C-alpha cells in the first residue's frame, strides 16, 4: 500500500511511534510518505520505500499565528494526489486529524476517496483535546476519521468518556518496540562505566513537561542515593528542566544528577541503566517504559493511565501512588538492593515487552486496519 503518515516530528512518544511504524511498514514492502514540518527525529536519512515531504508554512505580516493546519492540509492533499496514496494515517489528533479531514474533503470534490486513520496518543485526549478551545473540533475530527485507534485501553475509555464516541469506533492498538534494537545486549560496558562509575544508574527520558513531574524523580533519587551509591541520568529537555536542576541543588545531589539533553539512538543508554523512572501523573501508555523493559530495565512509575497495561507492578517494576515519594524510594531501594530480585524483574520485563509488544506482533494489527479502511 501507499501510506501517508503525519506526526509531530520532534521529540516525543507519538512521533517516535509513528516513525517506527513507517520504518516497519516500509520493511514489509509498503511505500511510506511522511508529511511533517521537519524530518522526524528517528527517521534515517535514506531508506528504501520511505519518502519525506516537508510542510512549508508561509508567513505574512498579517498573521500573528501562521495557519499551520491549513498548510498541512494543502500538503496532505498535494502528496495524496501526486503519490496516489491509499490512505493517510495521522498521529495525535490535534491538529492532524482536522487537517486530514480538510484534505479528504478537497480530494472528495475531485471524486477521490482518501481514508483517514487517526491514532490517539495521550494529551490530545486527556489534556489539550478537553480544553474548551479545542474540544469541539477534536470531537468532530475523531468522528470524521474513517478509523480511530488508541494506544491503550485506558485511553480508549477516556476518549469514549470525554468525547462521547461509540466504543466500537475506537480500536486499541498498543505501542510496540523493536526487540532487536531495544535489548539487554544494547548495553555497553564502557558507556555504563562512564555513566555510573560503578554506581547504580537511575534514568529518565522525556520532554520534561509539567505532566512528567520530574522534580519527583530528583526527590526519589535523593532518597535512594542516601542508601545506595547511585547516579541519576536525565535525557531530553523541556520547560521543567530548570525546576529539576534547582531541586537537585536544593537536595544537595546536583553532582550526581546528569542532564544529557536531547539524544538520538537512546537504546544503548537505556540498556546501561539499572532502573527507569517515569513519574507522569497521567500517562496513556509510556513508550519509554516499554523500551526500558525491552532492554531488561525494571520500571518505577505511578499507577496511572495506561502505564499498568505496560508495566506489571511487582513483576516488571513497581507502580505506586502519585506523589508518594517515600513509597517509591522504598520500592527503588528494595529493587536495587537485591541482585536476585533485580535479575528476576529484568528477565520478566524483557519477556513482557517481547511477548506482548514486539513490532512483529503489533504491526499486523495496523495492516489489517488499513486493509479494512480502504475496502
196 or 320: whose CB is closer to ligand GMT? 320
The single residue among 141, 215, 284, 329 that binds ligand GMT, judged by CB under 6 A, is: 284
DSSP per residue, 163-188 = H---GGGEEE----B-TTTSSGGG--
Comparing CA positions, the residue from 276, 293, 278, 90 lying closest to residue 177 is: 293
To 5 degrees, how large is the angle CA 330–CA 299–CA 305? 100
Q: Is 293 in the site for ligand GMT (CB under 6 A)?
A: no
Q: Is 98 in the site for ligand GMT (CB under 6 A)?
A: no
Residue 249 CB, nearest approach to ligand GMT (Å): 27
> Could you give the residue ranges of the DSSP H alpha helices within the chain?
13-27, 68-83, 93-108, 123-126, 132-144, 153-163, 189-196, 214-227, 241-250, 267-271, 287-294, 307-310, 325-337, 339-357, 359-374
Q: Find the residue with minimal CB distance to ligand GMT.
A: 122
Which sign does the torsion angle of CA 98, 104, 107, 111 carry? negative
Q: Is 129 in the site for ligand GMT (CB under 6 A)?
A: no
Site string for ligand GMT, 238-267 (x = CB under 6 A): ------------------------------
Radius of gyration for the chain, computed over Cα atoms and rounded to the nearest angstrom: 21
Q: Is 285 in the site for ligand GMT (CB under 6 A)?
A: yes
CA–CA separation, 47 vs 24, rounded Å? 11
Stretch that binds ligand GMT, among 61-69, 121-129, 256-264, 366-374 (CB under 6 A): 121-129
CA–CA separation, 343 vs 26, rounded Å? 36
Q: Is 94 in the site for ligand GMT (CB under 6 A)?
A: no
The single residue among 4, 122, 129, 296 that binds ligand GMT, judged by CB under 6 A, is: 122
The single residue among 3, 4, 5, 12 that binds ligand GMT, judged by CB under 6 A, is: 12
CA–CA separation, 316 vs 301, rounded Å? 11
The single residue among 100, 151, 266, 277 that binds ligand GMT, judged by CB under 6 A, is: 151
100 or 224: whose CB is closer to ligand GMT? 100
Total of chain residues touching ligand GMT, rule CB under 6 A: 20
The single residue among 138, 141, 272, 280 that binds ligand GMT, judged by CB under 6 A, is: 280
Q: Is 196 in the site for ligand GMT (CB under 6 A)?
A: no
Q: Is 14 in the site for ligand GMT (CB under 6 A)?
A: yes
CA–CA separation, 51 vs 30, rounded Å? 11
Write out the binding residues for ligand GMT, residues 208-237 only, by CB under 6 A: 211
Site string for ligand GMT, 17-46 (x = CB under 6 A): x-----------------------------
6 or 284: whose CB is closer to ligand GMT? 284
Q: Is 89 in the site for ligand GMT (CB under 6 A)?
A: no
Q: Is 287 in the site for ligand GMT (CB under 6 A)?
A: yes
Residue 6 CB, nearest approach to ligand GMT (Å): 13
Stretch that binds ligand GMT, among 6-14, 250-258, 345-353, 358-366 (CB under 6 A): 6-14
Q: Is 286 in the site for ligand GMT (CB under 6 A)?
A: yes
Q: From the CB of residue 252, how many other CB atoms can be counted at a distance below 10 Å? A: 10
Residue 10 CB, nearest approach to ligand GMT (Å): 9
Q: Are 287 and 17 in contact (CB under 8 A)?
A: yes
Residue with cell 516497519: 24
- In the numeric block, which cell numbers belong to residue 43? 527517521
Residue 210 CB, nearest approach to ligand GMT (Å): 11
Residue with cell 524483557: 350
CA–CA separation, 320 vs 352, rounded Å? 19
Burial of 158 (0-12, 13-18, 19+ CB in 10 A): buried
Q: Is 121 in the site for ligand GMT (CB under 6 A)?
A: yes
- In the numeric block, which cell numbers belong to residue 134? 479545542
Which stretches of the chain bind ligand GMT, using CB under 6 A? 8, 12-15, 17, 121-124, 151, 175, 211, 280, 282-287
Amino acid at each position: 500500500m501507499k501510506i501517508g503518515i503525519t506526526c509531530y516530528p520532534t521529540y516525543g512518544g507519538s512521533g517516535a511511534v509513528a516513525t517506527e511504524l513507517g520504518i516497519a511498514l516500509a520493511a514489509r514492502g509498503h511505500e511510506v510518505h511522511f508529511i511533517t514540518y521537519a524530518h522526524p527525529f528517528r527517521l534515517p536519512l535514506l531508506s528504501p520505500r520511505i519518502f519525506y515531504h516537508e510542510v512549508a508554512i508561509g508567513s505574512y505580516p498579517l498573521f500573528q499565528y501562521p495557519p499551520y493546519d491549513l498548510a498541512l492540509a494543502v500538503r496532505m492533499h498535494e502528496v495524496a494526489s501526486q503519490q496516489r496514496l491509499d490512505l493517510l494515517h495521522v498521529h495525535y489528533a490535534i491538529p492532524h486529524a482536522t487537517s486530514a479531514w480538510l484534505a479528504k474533503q478537497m480530494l472528495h470534490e475531485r471524486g477521490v476517496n482518501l481514508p483517514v486513520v487517526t491514532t490517539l496518543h495521550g494529551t490530545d485526549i486527556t489534556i489539550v483535546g478537553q480544553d474548551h478551545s479545542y474540544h469541539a473540533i477534536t470531537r468532530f475530527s475523531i468522528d470524521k476519521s474513517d478509523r480511530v485507534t488508541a494506544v491503550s485501553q485506558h485511553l480508549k475509555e477516556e476518549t469514549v468518556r470525554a468525547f462521547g464516541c461509540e466504543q466500537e469506533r475506537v480500536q486499541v492498538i498498543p505501542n510496540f518496540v523493536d526487540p532487536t534494537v531495544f535489548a539487554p545486549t544494547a548495553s555497553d560496558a564502557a558507556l555504563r562505566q562512564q555513566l555510573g562509575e560503578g554506581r547504580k544508574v537511575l534514568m529518565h527520558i522525556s520532554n520534561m513537561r509539567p505532566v512528567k513531574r520530574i522534580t519527583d524523580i530528583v526527590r526519589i533519587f535523593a532518597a535512594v542515593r542516601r542508601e545506595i551509591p547511585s547516579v541519576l541520568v536525565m535525557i531530553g529537555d523541556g520547560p521543567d528542566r530548570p525546576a529539576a536542576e534547582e531541586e537537585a541543588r536544593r537536595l544537595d545531589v546536583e553532582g550526581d544528577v546528569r542532564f544529557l539533553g536531547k539524544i538520538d539512538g537512546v537504546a544503548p543508554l537505556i540498556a546501561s541503566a539499572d532502573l527507569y523512572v517515569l513519574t507522569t501523573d497521567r500517562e496513556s501508555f509510556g513508550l519509554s517504559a516499554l523500551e526500558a523493559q525491552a532492554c531488561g530495565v525494571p520500571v518505577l512509575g505511578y499507577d496511572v493511565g495506561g502505564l499498568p497495561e505496560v508495566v506489571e507492578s511487582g513483576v516488571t517494576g513497581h507502580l505506586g501512588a502519585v506523589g508518594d515519594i517515600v513509597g517509591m524510594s522504598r520500592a527503588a531501594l528494595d529493587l536495587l538492593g537485591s541482585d536476585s530480585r533485580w535479575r528476576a524483574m529484568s528477565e520478566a520485563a524483557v519477556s513482557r515487552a517481547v511477548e506482548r509488544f514486539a513490532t512483529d506482533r503489533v504491526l499486523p494489527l495496523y495492516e489489517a486496519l488499513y486493509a479494512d479502511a480502504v475496502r
